[in-house]
Structure formats: C-alpha cells, structure tokens
Amino acid sequence: MTAPVTSESAEERLQRPPAEVRYADELAALRAADGDPRPPGWQLSLRAARRFVVGDEQAGVSRKFVGNVSLVERALVTLATNRGLMLVGEPGTAKSLLSELIAAAVSGSSALTVQGGAATTEDQIKYSWNYALLVSEGPSSRSLVPAPMLRGMAEGRIVRFEEITRCPLEVQDCLLSLLSDRVIAVPELDGPQGMVFARQGFNVIATANTRDRGVNEMSAALKRRFNFETVFPIPDFDTELALVEAEATALLRQSGVTAAPRRDVLEVLVGTFRELRGTAGRGERMSAVMSTAEAVSVAHAVGVRGWFLRGEPGGAADVVASLAGTAAKDSPEDLARLRRFLEQEVPRRKGGQWQALHDARHLLAD
Amino acid sequence: MPGTSTAVDVPPRAAGSAVFLGVRHHSPACARLVGRAIGELRPAYVLVEGPADMNDRLDELLLGHRLPVAVFSHYRDDTRVATSWAPLCDYSPEWVALRAGRASGAEVRFIDLPSWHPAFAERADRHTNRYADAEARYARATERLCAHFAVDSVDALWDGLFEVTDGRDGAGGTDGADGSGSPDGTDSLGAEVDLRARLDAYFELVRGDAEADPGDRAREEYMASWVRAAVARAGERPVLVVTGGFHQPALRALSAREDGRVGTPPWPEVPAPPEGAVGGSFLVPYSFRQLDAFAGYQSGMPSPGYYQRLWEDGPHAAAQGLLRSVAERLRTRGIPASTADLIAARGLAQGLALMRGHAYETRVDVLDGLAGALISDDLEQPLPWTGRGTLGVGAHPVVVEMIAACAGDTEGRLHPDTPLPPLVHDVAEQLARLGLADADGPVRLDLTHADGLTRSQVLHRLRVMGVPGFTRVSGPSDGADPVLTERWEPGSASGREAALIEAGAYGARLDEAASVVLGERAQVAGTDAGPLAGLLFDAVLCGVGPLCDELLETIAAQVGRVPELGPLGEVLTAALGLWRHDRVFGVARGPLLGGVVGGATDRVFWLAEGLHGGPGVDFARLRALAAARDVLLHAPELPSVTREAAVGAAARIGRDPRAPADLRGAAFGLRWALGAPDDPATAVQALAATASDTLGDWLAGLFALAREEVTAETAGDGEPLIDVLDGVVSAMTEGDFLTGLPALRQAFAFFPPRERERIAERLLRRRGKHGSARSLLRTTADPLLLARARALEENVALLLDRHGLGAVR
C-alpha cells in the first residue's frame, strides 16, 4: 500500500490541469463576491463569468483570453438562451481555451467534453451500455453508461463539443432534437427513466475550425440551433507580441533554457507570422496554420536551438530554420510562399533583425 | 410642467459668469442637455464651437434646411490647400445651441477659428471634418477607459455611459428646441445632473492624459477670448459655452484668467485670410452616407441613421427601429431572416444590455444580437463596430446590410433661398471664361495647346463628377494613345445646376471637387485593378495639382494589393507610359506617379512568383512582366525590387515546374533582358527533350520579354537560338510538329515582319537555299490550313498503306 497522495501533489504531476483547477482560487473569489443575479443553473453571474474570462485587475483576476470583450459577452448571453454556442475560426485562435474557460465559469467544470472526429459515434455523445450488466440484468439505469450530453442534461451543466465539423454529418444531426426539445429519450428504459430532461444550466459549446471542414456542410437545421461566433487571430501586434513573449519565455524555462528570448527577434517572428497569415493585407495566405500558438512554438524552437547549439538566446537565422520545419510543414507551395516573403518582402523592412532574416534565407531548404 | 423652472445648472455660479457645457459632437444626449440648459438658464449669449467667419451669416443656417447640411470651408494659398466640413444634423449639440439659443432670444456666436486657419493644419487629413471626435486623437486615455469598462470601442463606451441611460423619457426632438423639460421633470432632473457630472469626469480623463497640440491651444486661446468678451457684456445673465468636451477643461481655466485690461474687452477679431490667399465658408447639402464613419473617407461618426432615431424617438424606439430596418433590408435582399432568428436576436440584445448594465439596448447591443443570431458562417473579418474600422472588402452580406441600416439614407437639402455653393459660381465662371458656356456645336480641342488642354480638363472634371452638359465622343483612351485631339458634344444642360449644388459638398472649386470625387471612387474601387487604371487616367485628364496627390497616394497604396497579374499589368503599363513619355498632361517623372509605378512593379514580382497554372499563353501577364522589365531598365529607382532581386525572382520562376510555361519563358527572357542570361540553346534543348508541347508557350514568353536580345544575338560561345530552334523543330515528329505549330506561330508573332523576314533569310541560308525570304512569309493560304491539309494527306496515306493500297509513294 502506498501512502495516499494529497490532491495537491496529484495536481502538480498533471501536465495541464483543467481550468477549474488552475483557477480555482479566482473562481472561488468571484463566486464569493458575486452579487449579480445568476441565470438558473449557473455557478456565476454573467458579469462575474465575463470578469473570469477577460480579467479584472482590481479584483485580482487574470486576463485569460486576449480578444474582443464583446465576443465573450455575446458568447455568455447566448449560453443563457436556448441556443447553443458555436465558436468558429482558424486553428490556434484559442477557441478551445475559450470554451474551457466559459464552461469552468458557468458550470464549475469543463470536463464534460466530446472530442469530435471521423470516428465519433452517437454512443460517445449520448449514452452507451455496460454490456455485461445489460446481458445479466437487461436495460436498467444501472447498466446505462451516460456520455457527456446525457450527463450535462441530467446535471444541468455546459457540455463542450470540440471540432464538431469533423464528425460525420449524421452524427452531428443527433444534436438536433437534443438542442430543440432539450430531452434525450432512452427508448430501452421504461417509465420516467426513459426520458432524460435537461435541467437548467445545460447548454452546448461547440468549436469548429475553418481549415479542415468548415461549417458550410453543416445542416441548416443544426446551424440555426447555434449562434455563431468567429474567433479571430489577435488583431493587435503589440498584444500578440506580448503574449508570444510571455508564453515562449515560460516554455523555454520549462525546457531548461535560462536565456530569455530576444525581443527584436520575437518582433520579426511575430511580424512574419502576421504577414503570412494574411492579416497584413497582401492577401497571401499560407495553407499551413499560422496561429499565435504556432508562433509560440517557433519562438520556443528558436530559443532551444540558440541555447543548446550556441549558448545564446537564438537569432533571426534560427527563425528561418525553425520556420521551414514548423510552419511550412510539407507543402511545397507554403515553402515557396515563405521563400518569396523572405526574398521580396523582408528586404523592404527596416531593422537589423529583418536584415538578418533576409540574409539567412538560404537556410530554407530547396 | 413641474420641474421645468428649477435650475438645472448645478455648479453655483456668480452672476454674469460663464457656464461651460462640454459636449461630444453628434451626440443626441449632449444635444438634449444643451436644449435644456438654454431653457433653464435663459443665457444672454450662447457661444458655440464653430467657424467664427460664419457669424455674419448665421441667418443662412436657420433658413429651414433639411438636415444634414454642412458648413464647408475652403482655403488655398501658395503652399497649402485645405477643405473642411462642419456637418450639422438634427441631433448636433451645436445645431441645437444655435436654434434654441436664437429661439430663447440669446445672442448666438460661433467662437472657433476659421477652418482655413493654420491651427487646423496639423490634422493629417486634408479633407477634415471639424466635428470629428477629438477623443480619437487621444487614443491612450480612451483605450484605458475601454479596458476598464470592458468594452471594445470608444463608441460603445460612449453609448453605454451617456446616450442610453436611465431616467430619460427619450424623445428629444421636440423639447430640445424650445428647451422645455420632459414630462417627468424631477426624475430627469436628477438624471441630468448625474449626466453632467459624468460628462465632466469623462472629459477630464480624456484630456488629462495627453498634452493638447499647439493647434488646439491656439483655438482654445481664441475661444476663451470670446468667452471673456461675452461675460463682460452679459451683465447679470449667464453665458452658455457649448464646445467639444475635450476643450472644456482648458477653456474653463483660460476664460477665468484676468487679462489685466481695464473695462470691457472688445469682441475678438475674426482672422482674415492672409494676402494672396483665397478662403471662405459656405453651406452645402450633406448626407448621412457622408457622415457615417463606417463608410470611411472622412472621419465622421458611425451610424447617423440610428442616432437620428434615438434623438427623435428615444433609445427604446431606436433599438426596435434598428432591428426592424435590418430585418426589412435583409428580406428585400433575399437573405433569410426568420421570425425565430429575430426573436433570438432581440433576446440576445436584451441579455447583452442587461449584462452590460444598459437601461435599454444600445446600438452595439442590437448589432451584437443580430450578428449572433443571424450569421451562421465564419466571418472573414471582425465585426466593424468592435473597432473604429471601415467595412472591408468581403464583409459578410448581413453585416453590410446592418451597417447600411444604421447609416440611414437621409440626404440634406438646402432651402431655396440659401446662397448657392461656391462650386456653382466657379463652374459658371470657368465655362464662360473658356467659351464653353453656351456651346451649340461640337467642341474640338487640341490637347497640345495650353488653351485646349485647360478646356479639356474643365470638361473632364465635370464629367467625373457626373455633371450633365457635355459628352466626349473621341479622344485619347489611355496614356499611350497617340490621339492628341478631343471632341465633345454639348447636350442638354438641364439638371446641371442641381447636380452642381449637390456636388458643392465636395469642394469650392471644380478641381478640388473633382479630386474629392475621384478619391471616393478610388476608395470604392479598392484593389480592383480595372477601375484603378481608369481612375489613374481620369486623374491625369482632370489635370494635376496638389489635390491630385492624395488620389495618387491612394492608388499607389491600392496597387500593392491587386490580386491579379494581368489587370495589374494594365495599371503598370498605363502609369509607366505616362511617367516616361507624357508630354501632353505634364505628369512625366512625377514622384507620385512614380510611386504608383514602383508599387505596381513590386506587386508584379510578388504575384508572378506565386503563379501556377496550365498550358496556354496569357498575353496580359506577359505584358505585365514586360512592363516590369521596362521599369527596371528605364526607371530602376522607382520600385523597391532591385535588378538583382528581380533576376533572382526570375530564376526561381524559371525553375518552378508548376509555373505556366509562358511565364517561365518570360522569366528566362527577363533575365536575358536584364543582362543575366542563361544559355538559351541549352534551355530550349532541355525543354524540347522533356516537354516539347510547352515549347511554343515558353517561346512566346521569351519573345515577349527579350525579343531584341534574341534578334541581336550574335554567334557567341553557344549556338544561336534560331539555329537551335530550327534543329529542334526539324527533329520533331510530324505529329508533334502539327500539335505544336499554333503555339509556335503565336510565339513568332511577337516579331515584327521585318525581323521575321530576317529570320526566314537565315533559315534559307542554313539550308543553303536561295530565294525570297519575303515570299516564304507571304503564303497564299493560311499556314495552319496547309498544316491541316498535310495532316489529312498523311492520314489518307497511312490508311492506304494499312490496306496495302499505298504502294506508289
């Protein structure tokens, strides 16, 4: 017998605890100070939930989502109505983070999650059976294995449906009756157990990215049961730079790199990402994902290269080398776009690191 | 009415002091406050932020126009040209001050410097709106406020704090003017005191953060001198000062300062334009479309249509009206908006209002609700009201309709007794001077003569503004067109004056107005290269001058984003032709035209390097590359692409197996033309060996870019290209030759007849034959027909052979 581990040390071992654990203190403080009316079934009022997501310096609540406040507001109000919330956007725009934060704020738990994919079945969404019990006892509530939707409805909580558009269309459509009638019928069970009605507080946050399979194929019937919110890449250069700097610094520290990333190098890196993302107006988009998350990982790679290869923070040459592998991936068009950017656009930019980036263009493999 | 006789004005004041009312321009809440303050205070003087040179003509403003109208000011001297508008709508605090002040018997004065004054010169935009938000210039403070109140934009912040607040009965259109209070006077009194306090705090914050620029300080000094003069004359009665809230704290301090003079200070003098300068202010009709900040161009305020409704019917009705008009617009356009969607939108809007602490749904609440419920797609760009942006290209159709519904389509109209805008006089005077006033026959203009050119420019300016009267029937169609005369047909001049009065809002003089119109068209054209090329030539036809600069700058910025190579080539060819050769319009070597040329050249290389495609020759893109070549050869200082960079880019294009063959050939030719040739013989042989079907396309590209180099090629180290080609073509199988023939012919069509003859001679020589090369080129039948006949004969022979009938061959 080993000694029982305390919950704290168990958390420490987690790579990434869920939002309700990471921000347990903030949630508790917000709940305690929350004087505003709460929608039925909610753990926090709308305003407190907004503060939890967008932060409130005076109340000591950190800013967790960098983006439009009004988007968060619309998302929260939508969840308080009878429509689901659909977050769409490019990959890496923090859609899943936003849905996790909102679920943690509204229901106190972000654990009820369906991960959509080509192999997702209705069983994983609604319920399935413990077949051993089913064979020995027949259908009963004991042999029923509830899936996130059923649990969310029974407990009155938010259910997250990640990457909904990656599910087959017929599986997506099993949400139709569930979202409009707010009930799941379990025809195998008799009596009142055969109908699970949604309790107050239940709603669905779905996320879909616009790259794999957009929302266009989704049935109109399902579309109208959701309110759509597009999450955009961070519009402001400085905000994105600050975020990349903070995240990359933290990651580098975890990797044992003690040198902080150079700001001028990060500026060039973030500028390159914004340009290749198509936000800077040239209308030239990479087919690979050029999100802030990818920028952070390139910044991480740059720092690791510089530190472990040469014992320095990493420079523009490392940016080129890392971009080739991380951003351009295996698409020759992307590689050509990247090269064209380095050859034609970079020399026009002013600044030493841009020059260094241009000089390092030969590092891009042919 | 109870409560109306109570003094609204909270701060206790000494007799004869000034009451400062800081307002936000175009704010219904502030307008209402102004109306009430005038009703309560019965001031002796109402001083309003507005051009003081209009003071003699305030009656003109009150003739009974349909708003919006604008006070249009223009100025020109040797170094500076400026135009500015001070738009007034029903809910402008300045307008209410003017009207209610007059109605209450007060003396109303505009107290700001005239718009032409150098104090305004520091604003970046030459076409300015006097009543643009001052806050927009002090972004740091407003950003902090937005972060504190957790809103996205200063407009949303303002609405929530001031426009849509509790304790208001709403409709202000009627009581604003006569100054009477609302039906529930006591409630509204408390709310109003509260509103004033919040306004003051807000403007203190905005102002406290940033140092006013020298222009602001000069204006405030001047306004303060009016306040002091008015206070000295007002006796026991108060003086009401209505200015932008941004100026209010400074104005309060400046006016209290004693200037040490004894006795009543004189009224400040209205500065007159300096010697040799022309300037003035006039009333012109305006429109909500021009006022709407989302439409861009001039900084105004967003959504005038919504605020008009807010002013007339109150926040509740305005929100409902907005929802209704969006739904109506969507349904007329055939965009589905079901009842369920509208219920959801309404619910969302109400929920958002509750959450954001608004008493009624604000504009942004309604828009957010509609966007959430009606848009079930991913958006290409953020919702425009989350920032202070304009609608971009590719905005979602629902968003476009929402913005249009917010803007409204009201157009102002001047009272018939209003003096005509200066543009009308200017045009009449110019037409008379140039003998065009009552032309009864066609007008022929010789553009090489100064006189003809001037007349042509005037007629073109009228044409681009859509003023009826003259139609051009012939003349040069682009910069390279050698036509030097123009013919214009006079038509009916009916409607000309009406059109000019409307166009009066664009400027005081014909050239100014035409350049503003062209500028608006450039904004609309966006990155659409076709209209841009036309605009460029229109700008040249209308004549250059400082006012053309802005237009050229816009076009230079837009060509950097044109998405297609072919159309871009047209813009580049036109611009380069004008820049190099123009002798008629006087724009050759112009720096701004050079900017267009440079930007377009950079863009050509950017697009060419990413282009992929199949077989076929696209002459438009070859022309684009040829134009870029000419730029690099004749004007290398214009683009930021250097010759080396271009050579490098061409090498990459030439190597890219997915680039179309004609483009690869063109890239090869470009390197040759720029003096970095590869061996053409090797290239042709390699191509013939691997992909002989693309040879014709490739050669077309090569000849389009490097025809001269190919002809001038002397036998150097390698074999001359023509000989190599002859070898390759001779070695082709009959089938390959027949397939490739059309493309090859197309490629050689780039050579003029004389050069083709020389090539033919050479081919004859190579075969040791003598004869007329010319006759070789002048066949009696179409060579393609001959080729087809030959193919047919071949087929027949094969068929005969197969059946053992073709023994005799």
Give per-residue pLDDT as tens, A17-76: 899 998 999 999 999 998 889 999 999 999 999 999 998 888 888 888 888 888 999 999
Q: Place B245 in a pLDDT band, splitting at 50, 70 and 90.
A: confident
Q: What is the pLDDT of residue A162?
A: 93
Collapsing DSSP states into helix, strand and coil, what is residue B784? helix
Residue B257 CB partners (closer than 8 Å, separation 6+) = B224
Q: What is the pLDDT of residue B168?
A: 47
Residue B11 has pLDDT above 70, yes or no: no
List pLDDT tens digits, range A226-250: 999 999 888 888 888 999 998 899 8
Residue with the bigger pLDDT between A294 and B389: it is A294
* Least CB–CB distance from B563: residue in A54, A223, A283: A283
Q: What is the pTM of this model?
A: 0.77
Mean pLDDT, chain B, rounded, equals 81
For residue A340, which residues of chain B lie inside 8 Å, CB to CB? 606, 609-610, 649, 652
Contact by Cβ (8 Å): B523, B494: no
The answer to whether B561 contacts A339, with C-beta atoms less than 8 Å apart, is no
DSSP state of A309: I
Q: Residue B470: name the closest of B438, B501, B500 by CA.
A: B438
Burial of B760 (0-12, 13-18, 19+ CB in 10 A): middle
Burial of B263 (0-12, 13-18, 19+ CB in 10 A): exposed
Mean pLDDT computed over A101-128? 91
The answer to whether B150 contacts A54, with C-beta atoms less than 8 Å apart, is yes
DSSP H stretches of helix in B167-235: 173-178, 185-209, 214-234
What the block records as the tokens of B432 is 């008379």
In chain A the first and final C-alpha atoms are separated, in Å, by 59
List pLDDT tens digits, range B638-649: 888 888 889 988
Residue with the bigger pLDDT between B525 and B10: it is B525
DSSP H stretches of helix in B732-782: 734-748, 753-766, 773-777
What the block records as the tokens of B504 is 């009066």
What percent of the residues of chain B are helix, what percent strand, and what percent coil, each to the nearest 5? 55, 10, 35
Residue B15 has pLDDT above 50, yes or no: no
Q: What is the pLDDT of residue A77?
A: 93
What's the order of all strands across the beta sheet hosting A203-209? A113-115, A158-162, A203-209, A84-89, A226-230
What the block records as the tokens of A9 is 């040390």
Which of A2-11, A50-59, B90-99, B321-330 has the lowest average pLDDT?
A2-11
Q: CB count, 10 Å around CB of A351?
A: 12
Q: What is the pLDDT of residue B6?
A: 40
List pLDDT tens digits, range A169-198: 888 888 988 888 898 988 888 888 888 899
Q: Place B331 in a pLDDT band, splitting at 50, 70 and 90.
A: very high
For residues A197 and A70, what is the distance between their CA atoms, to the nearest angstrom?
Answer: 32
Q: Place B681 in a pLDDT band, splitting at 50, 70 and 90.
A: confident
Q: Place B549 in a pLDDT band, splitting at 50, 70 and 90.
A: confident
Residue B679 has pLDDT above 50, yes or no: yes
DSSP H stretches of helix in chain A: 7-13, 19-22, 24-33, 46-54, 69-79, 95-107, 122-125, 131-137, 148-155, 169-172, 175-180, 220-223, 237-254, 263-277, 292-305, 316-326, 332-340, 352-359
The answer to whether B610 contacts A227, with C-beta atoms less than 8 Å apart, is no
Best probe of the A interface among B143, B350, B376, by most A CBs < 10 A, is B376
For residues B274 and B479, what is the distance between their CA atoms, to the nearest angstrom?
Answer: 39
Angle of CA points A333, A335, A341, to nearest 5°: 105
Number of H helices, E strands in chain B: 32, 11
Q: Which of B656-665, B709-718, B730-739 has the highest mean pLDDT?
A: B656-665
Q: Residue B141: name the closest of B125, B119, B160, B157 by CA.
A: B157
Q: CB count, 10 Å around CB of A210?
A: 19
The answer to whether B368 contacts A283, with C-beta atoms less than 8 Å apart, is no
List pLDDT tens digits, range A252-295: 988 888 888 899 999 999 988 888 887 555 556 777 778 888 89
For residues B239 and B227, what is the distance between their CA atoms, to the nearest angstrom?
Answer: 8
List pLDDT tens digits, range A202-227: 999 999 988 777 777 888 888 889 99
The answer to whether B376 contacts A76, with C-beta atoms less than 8 Å apart, is no
- Tell me the CA distances in angstroms from B472 to B166, B476, B559, B683, one per residue in order: 60, 10, 28, 51
Residue B505 has pLDDT above 70, yes or no: yes
- Tell me the CA distances in angstroms from B373 to A330, B319, B342, B403, one per residue in order: 39, 16, 7, 16
Which of A152-161, A347-356, B582-591 has the lowest average pLDDT?
B582-591
Interface contact B389, partner A, CB < 8 A: no
Q: Place B208 in a pLDDT band, splitting at 50, 70 and 90.
A: low
Q: What is the pLDDT of residue A4?
A: 46
Which of A157-161, A244-248, B139-143, B287-291 has the lowest average pLDDT?
B139-143
Residue B562 CB partners (closer than 8 Å, separation 6+) = B527, B528, B529, B532, B568, B571, B600, B603, B607
Q: What is the pLDDT of residue B242?
A: 92
For residues B764 and A308, what is the distance between their CA atoms, to the nearest angstrom?
Answer: 70
Contact by Cβ (8 Å): B323, B342: yes
Mean pLDDT computed over B103-120? 87
Distance of CA B166 to the CA centre of its chain: 40
Q: What is the pLDDT of residue B474?
A: 85
Contact by Cβ (8 Å): B171, B312: yes
Q: Residue B51: name the closest of B113, B137, B119 by CA.
A: B113
What the block records as the tokens of B694 is 């693309």
Q: What is the pLDDT of residue B185?
A: 43
Residue B461 has pLDDT above 80, yes or no: yes
Q: What is the pLDDT of residue A366?
A: 55
Contact by Cβ (8 Å): A49, A80: no
Domains in chain A: boundaries: 16-118+152-230, 237-363
Residue type, B172: G
For residues B748 and B753, what is the distance between their CA atoms, to the nearest angstrom?
Answer: 10
Distance of CA B509 to the CA centre of its chain: 20
Interface contact A251, partner B, CB < 8 A: no
Residue type, A320: V
Residue B523 has pLDDT above 90, yes or no: no
For residue A214, which residues of chain B lie inside 8 Å, CB to CB? 378
For residues B560 and B568, what is the distance between their CA atoms, to the nearest angstrom?
Answer: 9
Collapsing DSSP states into helix, strand and coil, what is residue B754? helix
Residue B477 CB partners (closer than 8 Å, separation 6+) = B483
Q: What is the pLDDT of residue B187?
A: 52
Interface contact B613, partner A, CB < 8 A: no
Which residues in chain A (266-295) have CB-CB distances under 8 A to chain B?
Answer: 281-284
What percent of the residues of chain A are helix, what percent strand, and what percent coil, each to the nearest 5? 50, 10, 35
Residue A151 has pLDDT above 90, yes or no: yes
For residues B348 and B367, what is the distance between their CA atoms, to the nearest angstrom?
Answer: 10
Give the chain A residue nearest B561 (alpha carbons).
Answer: A282
Residue with the bigger pLDDT between B483 and B16: it is B483
For residues B509 and B427, what is the distance between their CA atoms, to the nearest angstrom?
Answer: 8
Residue type, B674: L
* Chain A: closest CA distance from residue B769 (Å): 49
Residue with the bigger pLDDT between B547 and A50: it is A50
Residue with the bigger pLDDT between B366 and B579: it is B366
Domains in chain B: boundaries: 21-295, 437-447+463-611, 642-778, 782-809
Which of A333-337, B144-148, B581-585 has the lowest average pLDDT?
B581-585
Mean pLDDT computed over B350-365? 90
Contact by Cβ (8 Å): B82, B309: no
Residue with the bigger pLDDT between A283 and B218: it is B218
ipTM: 0.84
Angle of CA points B542, B544, B549, to nearest 5°: 115
Q: Place B1 in a pLDDT band, splitting at 50, 70 and 90.
A: very low
For residues A130 and A175, what is the distance between their CA atoms, to the nearest angstrom?
Answer: 23
Q: What is the pLDDT of residue B84?
A: 78
Q: What is the pLDDT of residue B170?
A: 43
Would you say the C-alpha torsion A332, A337, A341, A343 has a positive or negative sign? positive
- Tell me the CA distances in angstroms from A197 to A179, A185, A201, A312, B321, one per residue in order: 11, 9, 12, 60, 38
Q: Place B169 in a pLDDT band, splitting at 50, 70 and 90.
A: very low
Interface contact A347, partner B, CB < 8 A: yes
Residue with the bigger pLDDT between B313 and B145: it is B313
Give the chain A residue nearest B337 (alpha carbons).
Answer: A224
Contact by Cβ (8 Å): B50, B243: no
Q: What is the pLDDT of residue A26?
A: 92
Q: What is the pLDDT of residue B388?
A: 66
Q: What is the pLDDT of residue A16?
A: 79
The answer to whether B151 contacts A76, with C-beta atoms less than 8 Å apart, is no
For residues B107 and B761, what is the distance between their CA atoms, to the nearest angstrom?
Answer: 94
Residue with the bigger pLDDT between B215 and A125: it is A125
Size of interface A-B (CB pairs under 8 A): 120
The answer to whether B351 contacts A77, with C-beta atoms less than 8 Å apart, is yes
What the block records as the tokens of B513 is 């107005």
Q: What is the pLDDT of residue A365?
A: 65
Residue B803 CB partners (closer than 8 Å, separation 6+) = none
At the topology level, CATH places domain A16-118+152-230 in: Rossmann fold (3.40.50)
What percentage of chain B carries pLDDT values higher than 90? 14
φ, ψ for residue A238, nearest 5 deg: -65, -40
Interface contact B783, partner A, CB < 8 A: no
What is the residue whose two structure tokens read 């109140």?
B149
For residue B376, which residues of chain A lie inside 8 Å, CB to CB? 86, 215, 223-224, 226, 228
What the block records as the tokens of B257 is 């300062």
What the block records as the tokens of B333 is 């356009």
For residue A283, which residues of chain B lie inside 8 Å, CB to CB? 527, 561, 563
Helices A95-107 and A69-79 cross at an angle (nearest 10°) of 50
Q: What is the pLDDT of residue A154?
A: 92
Which residues in chain B (339-378) have CB-CB distances under 8 A to chain A?
Answer: 340-341, 344, 347-348, 351-352, 354-356, 364, 368-369, 371-373, 375-378
Strand duo B278-285 + B69-76: pairing: antiparallel
For residues A53 and A30, what is the distance between their CA atoms, to the nearest angstrom?
Answer: 11
Give the chain A residue nearest B601 (alpha carbons).
Answer: A344
